[in-house]
Structure 1
Amino acid sequence: MIRVIQTLLLLACTISVFSQSTEITPWASSQEPAQQKRRVIVPNIYRTVKLDESDLRSFLANVPQEFSGTAQSEWPVLGLPKPDGSIGRFRVCESPIMQPGLAQRFPEIKTYLGKGIDDPTAYIRFDLTPKGFHAMVLTTEGSWFIDPYYFEHSDYYISYFTRDFTGNDEGFTCEFKPESTDFSGETTAFSPLTGETLRIYRLAQAATGEYTNFQGGTVNQALAAITTTINRVNTVYEREFSVRMMLIDNTTQVIFTNGSSDPYTGGSANKMNQNQGACDNNVGSANYDIGHVFDVSDGGIASLGSVCDNTRKARGYTGTSNPVGDPFDIDYVAHEMGHQFGGNHTFNSNMGSCEGNRNSGTAFEPGSGSTIMAYAGICGSDNVQLQSNDYFHGGSLSEMTSYIIAPAGASCATTSVTDNTAPVAEAGPSGMVIPIQTPFELTGSATDAEDTGLSYGWEEYDTGASTELGQPTGNAPQFRSYPLANVPVRVFPRLSNLLANTGNIAEIMPYYNRTLRFRLSVRDNHAGAGGVDWDNMQLTVSNAAGPFRVLSGNTPETWTAGSFQFVQWDPANTAASPVNAANVDIYLVNTDDFYNPILLVGGTPNDGYEMITVPEGISGNNYRIKVKGAGNVFFDLNNANITINDQGAPGVAVTATTPAMVVCGGENAVYDLNIAPLQGYQNTLSIEGDNLPSGLNFSTDPADFMLPAFPTLTLTGTENLPTGDYTLNFNITAAGFGQPFSVDLRVFDSTPENIQVQSPADNANGVPVDIAFAWDANTNATLYDIDIATDPDFTQIVASATDLTDPFFEPESNLADSTRYYWRVRGSNPYCGAGSYTPTNTFFTEIVRCDRFFATDTPKAFNAAPFIFSRVTIPDDLLIRDMNIVEIKGQGNPLGNLSFRLTGPDGANYNLVGAATCNGSSFDFNIDNEALPGPLPCPYNIGGTYRPLDSFAGYYGGSAKGEWRLFVFDQGAPGQLASWAIEVCYPKAPDGVREEIAANGGTFAVFPNPSTGEATFTADLPAGADLRLRITDLAGREVYGFNPGKLSSGEHRFQVSLANLPQGMYLYRWLDEQGGLWGSGKVVKQ
């Protein structure tokens, strides 16, 4: 039956007498203590303080009991040192978590709770034990702790934020398996009342001998540590579920001091099961409602929904090698007890420790997740963060609350009526459609009768397929959970990422059609028994619109308060169905006060353009423009901060609708000006030019004007200006007044003409088939068109491109060898049009010859060794255009035992054919990178040509010289390699060039190739020569030049740094004084 204690009975508890004005701060900032002692909690950042424990004990001796009838507003005030250097003030009372019999036996162990004064969302539980003072504060400002500096008791303490203690244990694994549980929890869309009833469960908290030994070896020391942990777990459970666990009178009967004789052996699952018997046998099944055991072995496991179930209620185990502090108390203990109270895992990952432990029905969080029932920090590459946050996901709230109030979880609880009522959450309307890849913000609301300081959590509430973090599909969750806030608004993606223009792998903006479900959870943070409510809403994402983007202000700008400015955005089809955002609202936001924007224009048409007036009376350097769909949740910000200066002295502020114009020479440039009065200035004004370029004239309409004014400024005579960019200065004038302003003008004086080609040169011979075409940039050109044909009339165009922005072009595929080509190029700009094509240029591509180089050491019989190999040596430095492995013949029985691998002169390995199920006994095949893809036939003995498993096309453009090896892995099969050859296709120079190179007789190389930085170029000369080295990119632009001067015969080596070159392929040439070519090749920068 349910044991009910009415409020009147609670009021009958002893009332402690105290002074209503009592307030104490028994702390002082301190330097790091010099003494070296054992430390077990060492955050990355913390504040060191010193406690006057005598003063604290005197103060705490007179605080009221929790249910004494003393109003919370009359509780005495305790000041505690916050990590940021300030003092946090709390109204506090004594709040025991021991049953009376245990408390009487250990009066030196006391627990307390409190409520923040300066921060109404702050909720604290703390204890004072023989191990010292310990506090945990839950707050929207960032939860924080106070713990002893040393493991042993002393006067020194540390204050630190949870986020600064990354004590996660990668070895910890929760072994809970959702598919093997005995309880089927239910999630509910409505929120059962919590906060109006406090449910108290009797806890049999056991400890292995090893845990007790870690804590000091005695029952008293273990009990003090257990009290600290359970007090902190209660901090969370009271706030989230209005649930408290009380250590039973017989707790010491299950605190074991000898690991050899305690009832726990084996792994975590064994110890969990053994704990049921240990608790039943030592304290009696009727004397507890939930049982758990602490240990020092890494792992955790619990039986789902086992509280109140006499056959399973003690099946809970938590162990870690350092069982103290926030990671143990919250990440592990609160997590495992969460299973006992009906909570499943909430992560969606299957990586690392997440693998096999995901529960599809509650996998609300991307990756490892970050809430208590997730796996923060132990899911490998899917980790969202390293430690759990100290709250439950909205999905866990409904799942666990459903269990707690149902007969299965409520039948054994003692209940008491509190003085609290639950808040009421409102998530807002569902059904809105938003564009893809566009930020949005959800705004809810809540009411609370007690108004004790609400905190809000917006979370995605979707489940779908398990995917890697950052790669959602279908209805998989895309947005992680973040700690609670003191406002009912959340921006997606996180505001800090949005302002910094950075991505977040745990918040992927939707880029495909889908629905998004969200839950707003509201907590009232009532001391002792928190009230919680939640409400759901849903959005639809449509790829028929988006991304919606603000186009103005994406680089820093400076505005003047009171001036006119223009805001541009890309509606991206959001005004049309299905988004139907016909209008937008435009705001000015201060990034330090984002949730209180200034509305500039409301309900203006969603046409991408609006003039706004900068509000008067503001200034600063951290403003942004926000354009939001009216009546919708999607929006965007400009990407850079805007500085707003105050108006200063009376005058004017000038902006141009289009401050920069581009024209073709002879056309007029027209600027629409917007002139606003500052500080009420008024006069008859006109515009004067200030040192304008010769031949440029202007006029305004009207010539004179009053404020505010929107005159037109027209520039004529642009045909007198050469191509270039101009900043044109003007003054707005009146009697005794002048205000300068400027506009920008770019002029193209004509169509682009007389473009000069670079590469290949006209009538060039032996041009590589992978040539990159290049020409000189033209000042009048913004775009280029190129045609390449096999006839001078360009009726047989083989490659072309239009609207190239750079003066070079590389065809998608190689040209044919031994072929004459014709090419031309022209420039254009969108203002004057296209110029004339260059005179037709012609060139002849290299002659490509294919030779086969056969192995001379075949046949080679397979033997007892696992493989054999055969060599082909290519003596000449041939530039590889194409390469095939041919006439691979032999016997092997069965073929399924054979695999073939090619090893190049550089030692790189390429798998050609892998072992497969095949019973043939002979092979005869060829390998070609360009062969059609598909499986290898069986048997492969008809001279067919197949694509290799690993492409060796990386050798193309390199040298074929050196030793090549074909390995045959035979797995003991009998047979032999009868023959094989390498077919190399390489350019054969035209006669003139070939004779020159043959006469010179030099050998040139570069290594390593590819190179990541330093490369060595070699020149082996038969006779002395005066040479120079030139390296160009594929557009023909020289990136390196070196003149070593007169070289003697023999080999020379030169080290060249390629470190500053972009990745890619480059051409090198050795030239003599007359420009004669001695050698050339390619080098790749990686």
Structure 2
Amino acid sequence: MRFRGILFFILITAFQVKSQQWNIVNPNIIVDKGIKDIQPDKYILYNMDDETMRSLLWSAPSESDIDVSKSNTTISVAMPDATKELFRVVRYDMMEPELAAKFPEIGTFYGISVNNPLKSIRIDYTSQGFRAVINSMGEGRMYIDHYQRSDLNHRIVYYRKDLTNKGPKWGCDFVNDEHGNNDKGVNGGSRTGNCTLKTYRLALAANIEYCQFFGATSSSQSALVMSAVTTAINRVNEVYESEVAVRLILVANTNNLFFYLNNGDDGYTNGNGGSMLTQNQTKCDAIIGTANYDIGHVFSTGGGGVAQLGCVCSSANKAKGVTGNNAPVGDSFTIDYVAHEMGHQFNGNHTFYSAVGSCSGNQSNSTAFEPGSGTTIQAYAGICGSTNVQSNSEAYFHAVSLQEMTQFVMSGNGNNCDVEIGSSNNAPIITAQPNYSVPISTPFALTLTASDPDGHPIKYRWDQMNGGSATQPMPPQSTNTSGPVFRSINESTSPTRYFPGLATILAGNTANTWEVIPSVARSLSFRGVAQDFTGVFGCFAVQNVTITTVATAGPFNISNFNSASTWNVGDTKNITWNVANTTASPVSCANVSILLSTDGGLTYPITLAASTPNDGNQDIIVPANTTTTGRIMVKAVGNVFLDINNANITISGSGGGGTFELSATPSTVSACLGNPLNTVIGVTGSGGFSSPVTLSVSGLPMGAIATFSSNPVNPGSTSNLTITGINTLGNYNIVVNGVSGAQNKTVNVTLSVANQTPAPSLSLPLNGATVVSVTPVLSWTAGVNAISYDLQVAYDVSFHDMVISTNINNNSYQPVTPLYGATTFYWRVRMTDNCGISLWSTERTFTTESCFYYNPTDTPLNISATGGQSVYSYLTIPDRGDITDLNITDLRGTILDVSDLKFSLFNPSNISDLFWNMPCDGRDIFPDFDIKFDDEAANSSWPCPPTNGLTYIPSSPLSTLDGYQMKGSWKLGIQNQGGSSDGVLVAWEIKNCVNNFCRLTVDHTRASGAGSLVEAINCALPGDTIRFASNIQNDTFFLGIQNLVINKSIFIECDINRNIHIMSSAASATLVCTTSTSGNGLKIKGVHIHSSNQGIGAIQNTGKLILDDVIMHKWPGSATATIMNTSGANTLLIGNCKVID
């Protein structure tokens, strides 16, 4: 069965991939039929089947149901290098449900590569079809966009670096009169963020000019605008989620902020960002409502960008964000502009250090940590004249922006309105490191030592954290005594950054234009960032390091082999370097290591001297590592400075003397999918062999990472080999290589990656079963190695409205508390075993029997000792139904002798049944009772005393009460015949199974089903009163596109102080009264009723309507009457009724 299950998955995947064809086409043969919004300098044009792609995307599970790494929905996507990549994808909600219902053709998704855990994809599907951004460590960002408008089957695929910003110069400003983060320092702790995704409701406005740009001149074309907005915000989310764990969700009626030419003036001054700042605040408050959004922003085609600093969640300023550009499309708009301005709203200051071009007058001295224009999102890449580092921004935040923004959303104003999505993810753990003093004019390297508790890959970067006023020359000079001298470099899988970059050092230089080693004494502050890569949102940790350049030491440099040279294996070579006073305090470097590279200086795996005195020269034996691109590094031991010789070294020849062997224990390693695989590599020398052996691994599957605990390894020692990152089932044969001199030995290791934990198969109830007990036994197939099971039972297929969520050890479960009767439930199970947590089983449904439990509120009740006297406990049932079966499901009490008691049950028609008559009479004295009764029970002989809590056949059949209406007042009578002692009725309960059930108490906010407001109205009879359960308060009943049409004289009763709102997005009024104008009419008390759209009021009345303490809400900005009476209709307002704009 396991094999067949795997085969089935493979067949499905193969079919999905086969059905997705990406064919390269020549742009010259494509018929022009739409505007080309995005025109990279270099791209590949593909033809694809849009409908197939859409179908696959719409089959993707929700992110709330499954981790993206376990999704079985896979799509094949073309890359800009003409290859294809397979991604697992899930759907995520970027719109509130009401907005999503208006635009069902729009969806947002994200995914992660099947073969490379360091490659992720973010997708949106809109009226312009499939669009995506792919983020790949080492390759940068890649984009898939429409070739031309109205052409769903042609996509351009390109690298971000090939999209040049051809638009006009950008202008940005921000207002800094309110924000919640006063921490401007850089010496924070080693941790940032709490691994929780924070979501914010975004009210996104689009002025007339922006809508016109996309061809929309009326609201009937709103899908064109919503498509553009979705692509922009989806791409912003891709960055914000990854960098600061923030997600923006478009509010339900953000489309009401889209303005069109046929509507007249939109109230925005398109060319003036400062004016639009205040205008947008007014618009969002009036149309959306200040309580209904967390951040507001407006898109335009002019006026540049301007935003209020740290205004998210601020009621007075949260919509003060503007982005205007005459070409509001593509990455240059969404990253350089939108992400930048929203960064201000999330409290991110500018990070550039320049007074040239657009940088002039806009620098934030306390965060001016990037030289020149800078390159990160909060910098000004490309618009600062001679100080431009590059043309466009990179899609990430500088370390100081991470600090400002995460502090703002965690403990500043941004922590006051967000909704959190929890995560089991944990931040990487960084090993603390000291500060260093280094010689001037000398390269150095900083390395973060970090591990991830969850085994996720880690991406690293180092940013300089020195700012101040722009008084130092830019581009930076080696004599600058303050400010930044090192540009920000995008993240890498390597924890080490060289200062300056390796290419500069290898060329024999200590500076390039934007990375400059100081030649004077000064302090350099750096922050290392280690962030785990999950493909969705990550956690990060930080480490601060201070480097002090010492003017009395340096330059430290290698003084020989700086021109091309040739070495022979086995020769002795003397390496010399200028110590340059680096042994003296405060540098205090007593020893150095000497390392060899054979790949042109990119890596240095061969140690020629692990620790030798820093005296300026050292003999080494040329190892048998032949190469034509050798380089030597001399590096401080216990410090970070270094130098590399300036030219390649050729090593030729071979050596001999003794040998070594490798072993692997065990040689076959097994692990569950996603877990590391471990073996021990042993090195054994013979014949006097004593040289270190350098280990490496070949044959690893794509994405796998091999780590040795020690490398190189001396003969007689071992090294622990750990393999991580294998994300596909199967067996893999890898080779561990050992190199020492001219000798190269290998040992084979087999890696076996076990199956994922299989999802359980549900057994009972059968799918779609009806008349299921309200205390059903839910069962499923037991897993062979199961540790536990997670069970979920919900009212909805998305499992958002949960009834049961529990973890158990058995493969069956029976709820103690009865489920709701006459209701359809969804249920699913997943299993945990040694391989982890399985996917959820395929959900099933069952519908419960129409049975309901009722108990009184007047217990406990004293039972009098007076002989022959009866006491009564009363129970009011508000619901209607014709009884088909009645059971006593709880009867408990205390008394000296139960045989003295007679128990009778009276229905609302005062029909009684003496169901338990002096039990255990004449058989001694038996105290207390705890029993249940059912005519269909298996046993009629209860024990004495009757205290085991089991179910028995009653003295007189309870069926006497069948066929009667259950609505009304019931009572339980207990007559004490003996009078020997007082007693107590502790509790009692009846279970009624009925036909024609009508629940007249509203106890949930769902739009349908028993207990819903809609169902109560539908089944109520004239004269009935509908009430709200005590747990319903501060709740909203959103009816979607349906509304309440009531044509009977009923009373809907509530207390206005419970703050219950009734809303809809129907085409007609939320409440329509069509009762007769004579009779009692429809009466409603104590609720809020909202207008359903801007063209209609909240209530339409054609009959008789009585409103008592009802608050009616107009559509924001609408002049339409709130109550619309037709001719002859009768509306009576009593109590404190009012209308709110």
Q: Structure 2 length as normaliser, TM-score?
A: 0.54
Question: 1:115, 1:543 → 2: CA distance?
Answer: 49
Query: 1:427-483, CA deviations, whole angstroms, 9 ceiling, x for partnerless residues?
Result: x42232100011100011212122222111111111234122223633311111011
Cross-structure match for 2:1110: none
Cross-structure match for 2:170: 172
Question: 1:344, 1:590 → 2: CA distance?
Answer: 44
Verify the 8 A CA contact 1:194 1:531 in the aligned structure 2. Answer: yes
Which ranges in structure 2 are unaligned for 5 or more consecutive residues? 1-8, 658-685, 689-1141
Verify the 8 A CA contact 1:586 1:625 in the aligned structure 2. Answer: yes
Distance 1:264 1:71, change over 3 A: closer
Q: What secondary structure does 2:173 align onto?
A: coil
Cross-structure match for 2:516: 508
Q: What secondary structure does 1:104 align onto?
A: helix
- Code of the residue aligned with 2:297 in structure 1: it is H
Verify the 8 A CA contact 2:447 2:496 in the aligned structure 1. Answer: yes
Q: What secondary structure does 2:27 align onto?
A: coil
Of the three residues 259, 271, 274, the one matched with 2:276 is 271
Of the three residues 457, 462, 475, the one matched with 1:458 is 462
Of the three residues 563, 572, 594, the one matched with 1:564 is 572
Question: 1:638, 1:581 → 2: CA distance?
Answer: 20
Question: 1:465, 1:101 → 2: CA distance?
Answer: 49
Q: Which has the larger radius of gyration?
A: 1
Query: 1:887-925, CA deviations, whole angstroms, 9 ceiling, x for partnerless residues?
Result: xxxxxxxxxxxxxxxxxxxxxxxxxxxxxxxxxxxxxxx
Cross-structure match for 1:429: 433
Distance 1:43 1:623, change over 3 A: farther
Shift of 1:58: 2.4
Cross-structure match for 2:73: 76
Cross-structure match for 1:620: 627
Verify the 8 A CA contact 2:181 2:412 in the aligned structure 1. Answer: no
Of the three residues 275, 283, 286, the one matched with 1:281 is 286
Verify the 8 A CA contact 1:627 1:635 in the aligned structure 2. Answer: yes
Does residue 131 of structure 2 align to residue 123 of structure 1?
A: no
Question: 1:632, 1:549 → 2: CA distance?
Answer: 15
Cross-structure match for 1:344: 349
> Which segment is superposed worse, 455-464 or 82-91?
82-91
Cross-structure match for 2:255: 252
Cross-structure match for 2:981: none
Q: What secondary structure does 1:498 align onto?
A: helix
Question: 1:440, 1:70 → 2: CA distance?
Answer: 41
Question: 2:31, 2:581 → 1: CA distance?
Answer: 66
Query: 1:1021-1080, CA deviations, whole angstroms, 9 ceiling, x for partnerless residues?
Result: xxxxxxxxxxxxxxxxxxxxxxxxxxxxxxxxxxxxxxxxxxxxxxxxxxxxxxxxxxxx
Question: 2:15, 2:309 → 1: CA distance?
Answer: 46
Of the three residues 9, 22, 25, the one matched with 1:28 is 22
Verify the 8 A CA contact 1:236 1:391 in the aligned structure 2. Answer: yes
Cross-structure match for 2:921: none
Report 1:593-632 matches (<5 A). Answer: 594-616=602-624, 618-632=625-639
Verify the 8 A CA contact 1:306 1:312 in the aligned structure 2. Answer: yes
- Code of the residue aligned with 2:483 in structure 1: it is A
Q: Give me the identity figure in percent.
A: 40
Of the three residues 202, 223, 248, the one matched with 2:226 is 223
Question: 2:462, 2:114 → 1: CA distance?
Answer: 25
> Which segment is superposed worse, 628-637 or 564-573?
564-573
- Code of the residue aligned with 1:322 in structure 2: it is A
Distance 1:196 1:269, change over 3 A: same
Does residue 301 of structure 2 align to residue 328 of structure 1?
A: no
Cross-structure match for 1:586: 594
Question: 2:96, 2:250 → 1: CA distance?
Answer: 6
Shift of 1:260: 5.2
Shift of 1:648: 8.9
Query: 1:314-372, CA deviations, whole angstroms, 9 ceiling, x for partnerless residues?
Result: 00000111111111011110000000001100111111101111111111111111111
Cross-structure match for 1:494: 501
Cross-structure match for 1:541: 549
Distance 1:596 1:74, change over 3 A: farther
Distance 1:500 1:90, change over 3 A: farther
Question: 2:166, 2:508 → 1: CA distance?
Answer: 30
Distance 1:642 1:27, change over 3 A: farther
Distance 1:236 1:192, change over 3 A: same
Does residue 57 of structure 2 align to residue 60 of structure 1?
A: yes
Query: 1:929-964, CA deviations, whole angstroms, 9 ceiling, x for partnerless residues?
Result: xxxxxxxxxxxxxxxxxxxxxxxxxxxxxxxxxxxx
Question: 2:126, 2:508 → 1: CA distance?
Answer: 48
Verify the 8 A CA contact 2:429 2:453 in the aligned structure 1. Answer: no
> Which segment is superposed worse, 498-507 or 430-439?
498-507
Does residue 198 of structure 2 align to residue 199 of structure 1?
A: yes
Of the three residues 627, 632, 647, the one matched with 1:640 is 647
Shift of 1:21: 7.7
Cross-structure match for 1:210: 209
Question: 1:376, 1:67 → 2: CA distance?
Answer: 37
Question: 1:110, 1:592 → 2: CA distance?
Answer: 47
Question: 2:27, 2:90 → 1: CA distance?
Answer: 31
- Code of the residue aligned with 2:94 in structure 1: it is I
Q: What secondary structure does 1:279 align onto?
A: helix
Question: 2:168, 2:557 → 1: CA distance?
Answer: 41
Report 1:544-943 matches (<5 A). Answer: 544-591=552-599, 594-616=602-624, 618-647=625-654
Aligned residues: 636
Question: 2:498, 2:312 → 1: CA distance?
Answer: 38
Question: 1:465, 1:591 → 2: CA distance?
Answer: 42
Query: 1:684-735, CA deviations, whole angstroms, 9 ceiling, x for partnerless residues?
Result: xxxxxxxxxxxxxxxxxxxxxxxxxxxxxxxxxxxxxxxxxxxxxxxxxxxx
Question: 2:85, 2:301 → 1: CA distance?
Answer: 34
Distance 1:532 1:91, change over 3 A: same
Question: 2:620, 2:629 → 1: CA distance?
Answer: 18
Cross-structure match for 2:965: none
- Code of the residue aligned with 1:210 in structure 2: it is E
Verify the 8 A CA contact 2:592 2:613 in the aligned structure 1. Answer: yes
- Code of the residue aligned with 1:640 in structure 2: it is A
Question: 2:101, 2:190 → 1: CA distance?
Answer: 39
Cross-structure match for 2:526: 518
Report 1:90-129 matches (<5 A). Answer: 90-129=87-126
Shift of 1:546: 0.9
- Code of the residue aligned with 1:448 in structure 2: it is D
Cross-structure match for 1:966: none
Q: What secondary structure does 1:522 align onto?
A: strand
Verify the 8 A CA contact 2:601 2:630 in the aligned structure 1. Answer: no
Query: 1:711-760, CA deviations, whole angstroms, 9 ceiling, x for partnerless residues?
Result: xxxxxxxxxxxxxxxxxxxxxxxxxxxxxxxxxxxxxxxxxxxxxxxxxx
Question: 2:544, 2:27 → 1: CA distance?
Answer: 51
Question: 2:579, 2:119 → 1: CA distance?
Answer: 43
Cross-structure match for 2:420: 415
Shift of 1:121: 2.5
Distance 1:23 1:154, change over 3 A: closer
- Code of the residue aligned with 1:454 in structure 2: it is I
Verify the 8 A CA contact 1:621 1:641 in the aligned structure 2. Answer: yes
Query: 1:233-272, CA deviations, whole angstroms, 9 ceiling, x for partnerless residues?
Result: 0001111111100011101100112295111015011112
- Code of the residue aligned with 1:197 in structure 2: it is T
Q: What secondary structure does 1:143 align onto?
A: strand
Question: 2:118, 2:600 → 1: CA distance?
Answer: 20
Of the three residues 375, 381, 387, the one matched with 1:382 is 387
Which ranges in structure 1 are unaligned for 5 or more consecutive residues? 1-15, 651-678, 682-1086
Distance 1:644 1:186, change over 3 A: same
Q: What secondary structure does 1:50 align onto?
A: strand
Distance 1:208 1:633, change over 3 A: same
Q: Structure 1 length as normaliser, TM-score?
A: 0.56
Distance 1:552 1:84, change over 3 A: farther
Verify the 8 A CA contact 1:425 1:521 in the aligned structure 2. Answer: no
Shift of 1:206: 0.6
- Code of the residue aligned with 1:506 in structure 2: it is W
- Code of the residue aligned with 1:543 in structure 2: it is A
Cross-structure match for 2:143: 145
Distance 1:586 1:407, change over 3 A: closer
- Code of the residue aligned with 1:172 in structure 2: it is W
